[in-house]
Structure 1
Amino acid sequence: MADDQLSEVFDHIEIRGLMSSGFAARDHWVARGTLDHPLKFIAVARGRAWLTTDSTGSPIALDTGDVAILNNQAWLELRGGAGDGPPRDIDVTVASYTSLREDDADHTGADVVLGGHVALNPVGRTLLLQALPPVGHVQASPAATHLRYRLDQLLDELTGDRVGSAFAIRQHGQLLLLDMLRAYVDQAELPPGWLRALTDDRLHAALSLMHAEPAKPWRLETLASASAMSRTSFATHFRTVAGMPPLTYLNRWRMLLAQRALRDGDDPIGSLAPALGYTSVSAFSSAFKREVGESPLRYRHRLRDEKLTR
């Protein structure tokens, strides 16, 4: 779709779903560990588990097909199974999903847990972390059939040890991320922010205009008319959903485009300014520094220096 704003933003923030861990366990077990990525996800592919993190309070029950999205959590604990005696201890920081191949292929009677993280560029980390709650529970509801199917495909690749499995796991990890975000958007009341705005049907037309022509000096009346709302109703609804006024959103969209252009392209600052709706380089530079915290030129040089030192 030409006006798929969510995909457009995903491209700009370079979002990727990466699988990193997994284990199968029978009887009584407990898995613990500290988290080294700001945005993690835990999926129960088989069985059931109880999740606790530093902000959940009481444990959350994760059934087969459920996914938990962990936003800036320091640690997690998962419990499952039953039985007498002390539980089997599992360190989630070293539980590689390759160990799943050592178990029987169908994991009969086992709880199977998969883990991964969401990789983002610095802009994406700011946007997505602000758009999600500390712990998001995506349930395997009848409407989330794509999510359950994706987990089955992923588990099949993780245990199959077939030619090209590493490539397939990367692709399924990316699609699992999309499926779980889609399911979460359908199930949850998202906090105000860009993710909620981009999935709001009433704002779709106005966002399409701003995304398609960011340099245009959009007026509130024009955007409201495109959304079939009065000026006041549109402004109120936009602020409620996006957490900011429409023209503030437009400015932040321009800054997102600017950061990608400075990071990936060679266009001079003088040509970026009018392309993004600024009447002068100084106006663009001031807006950029106010939003990002440094001048456009310094931002470009810093990112290129960081690439050279990697």
Structure 2
Amino acid sequence: MRVQMMDQLSEVFELVEVRGLVSGRFAVQGPWVSRAELQDPFKFVAMAGGRARLTTDGIDAPIELEPGDVAILNNRARLELSGGSGDGPVREVVPLEVDFELLPADWDTHDIVIGGRIDLNEAGRTLLGEALPPVAHVQASPRTGANLRGSLYRLFEEVTGNRIGSAFAIRQHAQLVLLEVLRAYVEQSALPPGWLRVLTDERLKPALTLMHSHPDTLWSLNELARAAAMSRTAFAERFRAVAGLPPRAYLNRWRMMLAQRALRDGDTSVGSLATELGYASESAFSTAFKREVGQSPLRYRSAIRTQAASS
């Protein structure tokens, strides 16, 4: 089974079915506060214009959001945003849903907030949860700010424009905002061990390319180390430190992600899938799949398709 060659972050994005979805927004002048109890594992807050202070559980001090900044909240229970200035009373703001019309806003005088959620499949929730801190604060720096601010501006224009095809456009722009956010986060932050960090490690990239391109091959530690031009010991230590797990475990996880996509999207038999992914037998593949995913391949396929039919 050969994966089409593309950059590895795009590969993972496709496999975990990542989607950025706008769920609400507001534009306000004067002192204000907005509070919410969070139900979704991953939320994002984009400061399209103006400034705000973000408070949530798991952080010691409020985070100051500047124009163009985005924060991703990782499994937080509550959120409070506050901003504005002046002597008037503090206004309690409830974000408007996307389908509601938003009053015209002045980018120079209003605080403009776009909120949303990040939807992923179960594998994606695990991977992103491991890769991000409680709050990933992405700043619109001189290096990354132009693209991120441009994406936010286009998203805001679609959210407020009420034009034909806006629902489709909002989904696409939200995807691009999420991609720009993760790109900027990778460049700005010291990443914890996990998939996001290992995908951006240049020294390990040749070994990752082997595993991603030929998941049916049970790559030895010597072969992977040679591809990375490192000694066996140095490669094993670096891989575990960067990925958070040894190479063989990473390869197994990658295989299971490919298997989940194949079971979701096609009618390949379990036996054929086992062969394509390099397993000696259907039973060996089924055992590995159940250990990683929590249910057998056939049960997984049935559950995913039942869920899709009812949604």
Tell me the residue number matched to 2:217.
216
Tell me the residue number matched to 1:117.
117
Letter of the 2:262 partner, please give it: A
Tell me the residue number matched to 1:303.
304
For residues 225-284 of structure 1, what are the alpha-carbon distances to aligned partners after superposition, in whole Å with 9 as ceiling and x for unaligned?
111111111111100110000111001111111111122211111111111111111211
Q: How many Å separate the matches in 1 of 2:22 and 2:253?
A: 31
Secondary structure of the equivalent of 2:274?
helix
Q: How many Å separate the matches in 1 of 2:85 and 2:6?
A: 50
Tell me the residue number matched to 2:132.
132
Letter of the 1:282 partner, please give it: S
Letter of the 2:138 partner, please give it: V
For residues 29-108 of structure 1, the aligned pairs below 5 Å read 29-92=32-95, 95-97=96-98, 101-104=102-105, 106-108=106-108
Q: How many Å separate the matches in 1 of 2:232 and 2:269?
A: 37
Deviation at 1:100, TM superposition (A): 6.3
Task: Tell me, yes or no, if the aligned pair for 1:44 and 1:112 is still in contact at 8 Å.
Answer: yes
Q: How many Å separate the matches in 1 of 2:99 and 2:52?
A: 20
Secondary structure of the equivalent of 1:142?
coil
Tell me the residue number matched to 1:142.
142
CA RMSD of aligned residues (A): 1.6
Aligned residues: 307
For residues 1-310 of structure 1, the aligned pairs below 5 Å read 2-92=5-95, 95-97=96-98, 101-104=102-105, 106-144=106-144, 145-310=146-311
Q: How many Å separate the matches in 1 of 2:125 and 2:245?
A: 19
Deviation at 1:162, TM superposition (A): 3.0
Q: Unaligned 5+ residue runs, structure 2?
A: none
Task: Tell me, yes or no, if the aligned pair for 1:70 and 1:136 is still in contact at 8 Å.
Answer: yes
Decide whether aligned partners of structure 1 residues 99 and 82 sit closer, same or farther in structure 2, where only a CA change above 3 A counts. farther
Task: Tell me, yes or no, if the aligned pair for 1:23 and 1:100 is still in contact at 8 Å.
Answer: no
Deviation at 1:57, TM superposition (A): 2.5
Secondary structure of the equivalent of 2:48?
strand
Secondary structure of the equivalent of 1:162?
coil
Q: How many Å separate the matches in 1 of 2:286 and 2:249?
A: 16
Secondary structure of the equivalent of 1:196?
helix
Task: Tell me, yes or no, if the aligned pair for 1:43 and 1:65 is still in contact at 8 Å.
Answer: yes
Q: Give the fraction of aligned pairs with identical amino acids, expressed as a percent.
A: 59
Q: How many Å separate the matches in 1 of 2:174 and 2:113?
A: 14
Letter of the 1:86 partner, please give it: P
Q: How many Å separate the matches in 1 of 2:50 and 2:25?
A: 14
Secondary structure of the equivalent of 1:91?
coil
Deviation at 1:97, TM superposition (A): 4.5
Deviation at 1:166, TM superposition (A): 2.7
Task: Tell me, yes or no, if the aligned pair for 1:22 and 1:99 is still in contact at 8 Å.
Answer: no
Decide whether aligned partners of structure 1 residues 122 and 79 sit closer, same or farther in structure 2, where only a CA change above 3 A counts. same
Deviation at 1:212, TM superposition (A): 0.7
Deviation at 1:64, TM superposition (A): 0.4
TM-score, structure 1 length as denominator? 0.94
TM-score, structure 2 length as denominator? 0.94
* Greater share of residues in helix: 1
Deviation at 1:55, TM superposition (A): 1.4
Deviation at 1:98, TM superposition (A): 5.5
Letter of the 2:269 partner, please give it: P
Decide whether aligned partners of structure 1 residues 281 and 150 sit closer, same or farther in structure 2, where only a CA change above 3 A counts. same
For residues 156-181 of structure 1, what are the alpha-carbon distances to aligned partners after superposition, in whole Å with 9 as ceiling and x for unaligned?
22233333333222211110010000
Moved more, 194-203 or 95-104: 95-104
Letter of the 1:268 partner, please give it: S
Task: Tell me, yes or no, if the aligned pair for 1:41 and 1:70 is still in contact at 8 Å.
Answer: yes
Deviation at 1:99, TM superposition (A): 5.5
